[in-house]
Structures are given as C-alpha cells and as structure tokens.
Chain A
C-alpha cells in the first residue's frame, strides 16, 4: 500500500485538528481550564504527531512532540496555564500549519522557524515543569520509566502503571511487546485491510472474534500510538482499542514480572484511580470519542471535490432548461391536459432537485466567522484594546465560493473596527462606556440574500474629518450632504490611503477594494454610524452566484438579461422629463433626481434598436453606487437563469458579466450594470470628436424607426 496516497487525507485532517486546537485554546478559561478541553487539545496534537511520524515528517513530528509534552503536563496539572503560555501554544499551532503547508507544497519547512519554536517550547518545558519534557524526539519521561519489569513494578508512582497501559513500549524500548488490538464494529473488508497493515508492523500471534469485536494479538516493536496512527486512516479512532499485553507476553518466561505490576496496582488502589480518567491516547479515546464525533458532525458528512458538485449543478441547470423548452412546446400543443399535468409535476420536481443540489454548495458562515476570534484577540492585544467578539448566525448558509471571497473584505472591516472604531479602555471609560469594546459579527438570511453585519460600539465615523479628507483629496462635497452620503465617501478610491496608516489596517487595501470585492460578488455594502455609539457595516450578498434572478429585456431583435437586484424601477419616460445635455447626453428626471440615460442599444451596438427614448422603456438601475436609466425596447419578463461563465471558453466581454441559456436554447448575455455605463460613456467620448461619423453611424438606425 502506497502511504503517500493518504497524505492529502492526513493534511486535511491535520488542518481540521489544528483549527479545533485553536478554537479550544481561544475559548479556554486560563484560570480554571476545563479538563475535557485540555484533553481534546492534547489528543489533537497527539494525532498529528502520529500522522507526522507515519509520513516521516520530521519537523512536524518533533514540534508536535514538544507541544504534546507541554499539553500533557498541562492536563495533569503540572503546568499551570497562563496567558503567555496560551499565546505560545497558538504560535506553535501557526507554525505547525506552516509546516504542513510546506510539506504539501513538497518543500522543507523553514528551518530557522522550526528551531526557534523548538527552543521556545523546550525552554518553557524546562522553566515550567523542570525539564520533565525532554528535548528532541525522545519519548516522554514517565513513559520510559514505566516499562514493565521488576524495577518499574517496585516504583512508587503507581499512577504511571495506568499510563503504561497505553503509553508503554515507546519507540525507544528494545525488543518486542504484545499488543491486543480490538476492532469494534469494523466491516470485513476494512478488517482485512487492517490486519494486513498490522502484519506489516509486526507478527500476528492470534486473531479471533466477530464483526462486533475482533481481537488481534500482535507482537511488534512499535508503540500503541503508532499502531493507532496507522490504523486511523482506515477506521475511526473510536472503533479501535489498543492494549499492551506485557503480562501475558512475559508470563511464561518471567512469572515475577507478570505478577508485580498487578500487585502494585492492587496495593495502591487510591492512587491508580485518579489516573484512570487521564489515561492517555488509545484507551481514553474510546470513552470520549462519541460525544466528540457528534459535536463535529464528522460522521454525517462526506468530503466531495467541488468540481464534482459543480458538475451536478450544471447538469441540473441543463435539466431545468430542457424542461422549460418542453413546456414551451406543450403550451403550443392543443388539448394536452394530461401532458401539462405531467409537465407541471416535472417542473416542481426539477425545481426541488435544483434547490437540493444548490444546497450542496452551501456552507455555514461559521467557516468564515471561526477565523475571527484569533484575529481579534491578537489585534486587540497589539493595539492595547479590550475587545469582546460576539458572533451571531454562525449556521447561516452561504455559497462556498462566496464564503471564500467574503473573508478578505470582512477581515478588512474587522481590522478597521478594531483600529479606528473601538477606543482604548481609558477613553471608553471616560466616555461612560465599559472598558471592553464589543464587536459583533452577524449573518442572517433576507429573502434571496444574506446580510452580514460588522458592528462595533466604538467612536463612530467622524463626519467632519471625512469631509475634510474628501476635500483635500479633491472629491467634491458639501456640508449639507446627508450622513449616509458622507459615509459612502470612505469607499471612494484612494480615500482610505489618506487615513493615518497603521500597521494594522494600513495594508494598502482600502475600503474601495472592499466595496469592489463585494460588488464583484453581486452584493453591496452600506455604513450606518452614530458618533460615540459605534459603526455598523452591512453587507448584502446574493446566496449563490450560480443562479440569478434575471429580467429579460429586448433591444432590437436581441434579448439581454438584467440582474433583478440592480433594478430599482422601470418607467415609460415622458418627453417633458427628458433634458438633453451637451454631447448628446440625455438626463431623465425621476422625481427629484436627474439620471443619465444609457441606451442599451448603443452600448451593445444593437443595429435595430428603438432610438426615441419616449418610445422605449427606461429601467432605473443602481450599479457601483451610481444610478442611471437604461433605455431598452421592451421588458419581456422575470426569470431565474443559470449563470454561465464566459471565460470558460472565451474571455471577458465589456458590459457583460456572464451569459445564460434561455428556454429556446439560445444564448443570452447578462449585462454588467456597473460596466455598462462606463462602456457607453467610453463610446460617446470616442465618437464625440468626430461628429460627422456619429451621424453616419446613426443613419441606418434612424431608418429603422
């Protein structure tokens, strides 16, 4: 069996374990840590170490080994946790992650960083627990001391006898020991695989049992931990129980050795007992894993490559299109009652199927939110602020593609809140607020959208400063602007670079990038702020990028699609509401606003589009924060469309965000509202210096009217 095939599995599992480790560390009560939590972190480190050993990842193994020793001491109460110790653990976790990434990229981890973290951990071990955890890859001291035999049986620390039950026979121990490996509820196929694996680790002495419990006695020179690490790639840890049989092995040869550990355990029952709950690794896993598994939901999920899911989504999209094609035919066929009943049924079924399939791509927002506790903790410490992070709506689901893309903008907003929003504790107290600021991250569903909010109770935005900054950077502003408009100013390109640069939020990524990112996901962002009370940033995103609510429009003989969420209203313009400007521009007065009119026919160079604005329909749209009126010939109707990327086989087309396939099988372009206006402006500028050409171009179009 080629073990390298399993590296990806190990990598993903290890990443998850590290994530879990971080989460526990962050929520850990330093003064009174929960034993169960400490055990969980220890197990995570332990599992990674086992895997690292199996794959021969030396640096990873040694780092986890040192960490494991410290964690072991912690859960045994030998090492008292302090905030700086937790910090070091967190730092180690980062280092482990970096090492993993390096291995994955088939590189060697950074040697200097490795040595540094080892030195830090060793130093901590020496300082805090008197060097009980020794350096290098040597096994933990208590394990070595408890090797079965006359001398260890005589040793007074009977508690280590329990430890030896699982931890005995570390790699250092010479000779071979007997292990009893019990497989609980393992199927025949997996069992054969496991027995093959065991056969490679040592000699199988006996095997017996059934599917419920199958016992294999193995004579080998590897530790139970290593056996477990190898087998965990095939079965779940709770399906395994590994127990050394030192007594049975040496019973015949040395009856004294066999009886003495038993005697020691008997003679000191009070001491052995407390040791039981903390018996490490293999034996403890059995008891504790079921609740863990339930919590992680691991057993009820499967890992599927995204491209497989996308393929299904595409196919279902096709199904929907085919089905609406049949519908169109059926509608024109007369007297087909039964057929249309059947088709209605099919329509419902396919919609349900589509919804079910789309939900595969959905992941809970926890995926995004879970990275913030660490970020906020580190940042707050760096800035000397106290911040309490609250997350709401972790289970709200969002398309996986979007969750990945929302992380960066959200990170930026959180950094901004911490850096510029929340004040330092003294200022807060002086303002009559609690010293610790509150940062709220929330996600809720709102119709077909998801609303993500970043809210802080800090100082709020400073209207005067923003206006002043806008003036100095050449943005035209007036003092009578509404607050809402003033807050929008911070999204202007180049604006945030003028804000004082700190190493926290001055990463060269401005709010304009945040806004652009969100818009590129089909969403929008707005800010609400109150001086002294805090700032709220609201991000509204569509739930998925794969399906779009579209408004079909006709221009000339061509059909285009507008995203419904960009449409504000549509109206038939009256000539008295139209104002012509220089350069052929038209403005349409809609209530109090004058909106530029952008003819789709012109932007998309449609030959036979209606030219007269009063004979066409205008659709008021909002894109990139600007409103304007799109001139179209006709509104056909609203329809959900499957979004198809043009770049798969072609390239980006100006003014077009994607394409879709209509019910009749033809391709229709989805217009990019933000891009369209620029496109039309660009065309007009192009044409402006050459008026004679403009009139030439217009001629055939005028002939049509």
Chain B
C-alpha cells in the first residue's frame, strides 16, 4: 500500500508521467516501471538447473553474463504455458542483479499520470497483491502494475542466497 501511495505521490509531485512497459501473462495485461527494464529478448534455450523450483527455467547467456530466467506464468500457475515466437524474456535489473522473466508477450510502453493510477485490487488477478503497486487505467484497458523489485527479491522466488537459506 505504501508503495502504491509513494508511486502516486511521486507522479503527483513531479507532475510528470511514469513510463511503464506493458506485457501480458495469459489474458491479463501487466506493466512494470520501464526504468527497471534493461532489454527485451526472445526466449532462447536456457540451461536447466537441477534441484530448483520449476518456475526457475534455468540460466541464460546474456552477452557473457549468466542470468537466471524465471517464468512468471509457471510461478503464478497460469493455465497455458507455451514457448513460441511470441514468448519473450524481459531482462530487468534489480539491486544490481540481472534477472530474465518469461512473459507471453510485450505490447507497448505507456506513460501514466497520477490520476490514472488506482489502488491495487485485493483479488481478481493471478499475481498476489503483495507484489502489485496499483492498477493503471488507460482508456478501456486495465494494467496491473507490478512491483517487480519486491517480487523478484521476495523469498518465494528463491533467486537470492538469503532467501534460499
């Protein structure tokens, strides 16, 4: 919640718009702060890691840097998990760590004003409310704003050592 208000405060104070990258998981449209996104790439072969949760797809070579790839669709138990030409990996940079997240597709970048950002819904989307920072409404579209930092550093994602032990 505080995250939510902080976000709105920030947009209100600066009077500026915050830019989001919009992606889809199944039928739902999500958005992350575009400043956290490093790049977008196709889903390439990743190297499987044994003895890890199923949503951690493995390790990918990002120009010499080895990054873990997480499939959010598996993590949030979406019905359909397919890997096709539409499947993309959003490479995000969180706390100086680089992580790839697999999503069903990236549609566009969009800037939102403070009044377009509403409180996060308590239910009704696949992702737990803890990791949401609000809802964005643009025309007739509804975007679920994801607090990607909190999500990826959370213990249940098991991406970091502190979380593992």
Contacts and interface: CB of A to CB of B under 8 A. Distances in A.
Interface of A: 314-315, 317-318, 321, 558, 603-606, 644, 646-656, 659, 661, 665-669, 679
A653 B159 contact: no
A646 B63 contact: no
B50 A668 contact: no
B64 A321 contact: yes
A649 B97 contact: yes
Please indicate which of the listed interface residues A603, A646, A649, A666 has the most CB atoms of chain B within 10 Å of its own CB: A649
Contacts of B58: 667
Contacts of A315: 64
22 contacts: A315-B64, A317-B64, A558-B47, A558-B48, A603-B50, A604-B51, A646-B59, A648-B97, A649-B99, A650-B59, A650-B66, A650-B67, A651-B158, A651-B159, A651-B160, A651-B164, A653-B49, A653-B51, A653-B52, A661-B66, A667-B46, A667-B66
A44 B35 CA distance: 51
Given A605-B51, A668-B47, A669-B47, A644 B161 contact: no
Contacts of A656: 49
A658 to B, nearest CB: 9
Contacts of A655: 50-51
A649 B67 contact: yes
Contacts of A646: 59, 66
B51 A654 contact: yes
A558 to B, nearest CB: 7
A314 B61 CA distance: 13
- Pairs of residues from A and B, 10 with the lowest C-beta to C-beta distance, nearest first: A604-B50, A667-B47, A651-B161, A318-B64, A650-B68, A605-B50, A667-B59, A649-B67, A649-B97, A644-B66
B50 A666 contact: no
Q: Is the interface of B mostly helix, strand, loop or mixed?
A: mixed
B161 A647 contact: yes
B163 to A, nearest CB: 8
Nearest to B161: A651
Interface string B69-86: 000000000000000000
A606 B61 contact: no
B92 to A, nearest CB: 11
B145 interface: no
Interface in B70-122: 97-99
A655 B163 CA distance: 18
A355 B66 CA distance: 23
B2 interface: no
A654 B50 CA distance: 8
B65 A649 contact: yes
Contact of A649 (B47, B66, B163): B66
Nearest to B60: A667
Please indicate which of the listed interface residues B46, B65, B99, B158 has the most CB atoms of chain A within 10 Å of its own CB: B65
Contacts of A659: 47, 59, 66
Interface of B: 45-52, 58-61, 63-68, 97-99, 158-161, 163-164
Contact of B61 (A558, A651, A665, A679): A665
A273 B154 CA distance: 77
Given A650-B66, A659-B66, 7 more contacts: A603-B50, A646-B66, A647-B161, A651-B164, A667-B46, A667-B59, A667-B61
Contacts of B98: 649
Contacts of B159: 650-651
Contacts of B49: 653, 656, 669
Contacts of A321: 64
A653 B58 CA distance: 11
Contact of B68 (A314, A649, A661, A679): A649
B160 to A, nearest CB: 5
A52 to B, nearest CB: 36
A667 to B, nearest CB: 4
Please indicate which of the listed interface residues B50, B97, B159, B161 has the most CB atoms of chain A within 10 Å of its own CB: B50
A317 B66 CA distance: 13
B64 A314 contact: yes
Nearest to B64: A318
Contacts of B52: 653
A315 B65 CA distance: 10
A624 B144 CA distance: 50
A646 B164 CA distance: 14
Nearest to A651: B161
Contacts of A603: 50
A661 B51 contact: no
A669 B159 CA distance: 17
A654 B52 CA distance: 9
B67 A606 contact: no
B60 A661 contact: no
Please indicate which of the listed interface residues B48, B67, B160, B161 has the most CB atoms of chain A within 10 Å of its own CB: B48
B161 A666 contact: no
Contacts of A605: 50-51
A106 B63 CA distance: 40
Contacts of B60: 667
B102 to A, nearest CB: 15
A317 B49 CA distance: 23
Contacts of A647: 161
Nearest to A683: B51
A546 to B, nearest CB: 13
A656 B64 CA distance: 19
B99 to A, nearest CB: 7
Contacts of B47: 558, 659, 666-669
A200 to B, nearest CB: 41
A660 to B, nearest CB: 8
A315 B163 CA distance: 31
Contacts of A649: 65-68, 97-99
A63 B34 CA distance: 56
Given A649-B66, A652-B164, A667-B66, A661 B61 contact: yes
B64 A661 contact: yes
A442 B45 CA distance: 48
B33 to A, nearest CB: 19
Nearest to B99: A649
A656 B164 CA distance: 15
A185 B132 CA distance: 65
Contacts of B158: 651
B51 A648 contact: no
Nearest to A650: B68
Contacts of B68: 649-650
Nearest to A654: B51
B55 to A, nearest CB: 14
A679 B51 CA distance: 10
Nearest to A644: B66
A107 B160 CA distance: 33
B31 to A, nearest CB: 23
Contacts of B99: 649
A63 B6 CA distance: 52
